[in-house]
Copies of this chain bind each other. A is one copy, B any other.
Amino acid sequence: MLNELFHMFFQQNRYLVNKLNEVLKPHGLYSSQWSILYLLHQNGPMSLTSIWKYLNVEAPTVTRTVNRLESLGWVERLYAMDKREKMIFLTKKGLEQFPPIEASVRSFEQEIEKKLTYEDQELLKGILKKIEG
């Protein structure tokens, strides 16, 4: 990748995504599905637009993932006052099955964080912020 830094960055990203998918597999979820479930659990019902803006991905990506989550029974869609807009919210199944999944993910995240000191984590956040800014 020419530069060592970029090469490493992309590799670690794949490593983290793959590991997260492993953790989510027993729950029948993938990482991008999880990120939407988690967001809905935090924020309550959201429109597609607010989801993709928050996650910083394109709208079609979210459409597809929400479709899948809907067909799996995790979320439902409902028209909002503005009839162009659709509100997405967790179903009963979504709400009920959330806590154990959250626990698994949290435990995975802590395992990774254990490899870094608190200082490392703060430094990493600071450096990541600089990249895009």
Contact A115:B131 (CB < 8 A) given known A1-B35, A14-B56, A125-B5: yes
By the criterion CB–CB under 8 Å, are B38 and A2 in contact?
yes
Name the residue of chain B whose CB is nearest to the CB of A11: B56
Interface residue total, chain A, C-beta cutoff 8 A:
41
B38 touches A132 (CB 8 A): no
Pick from B12, B56, B113, B121: contact of A128, CB under 8 Å: B12
Cβ-based interface call for A95 (8 A): no
Q: Contact at B112–A120, with CB atoms within 8 Å?
A: no
Contact A12 B109 (CB under 8 A): no
Number of copies: 2
Least CB distance from A40 to B in Å reads: 13
Judge if A78 is at the interface, Cβ distance under 8 Å.
no
- A83 CB within 8 Å of chain B: no
In the complex, how many angstroms separate the beta carbon of A98 from the nearest chain B beta carbon? 12
- Residues of B near A128 (CB, < 8 A) are 8-9, 12
Task: List 5 A-B pairs, minimum CB-CB distance, nearest first.
Answer: A13-B13, A8-B128, A3-B109, A115-B130, A12-B128
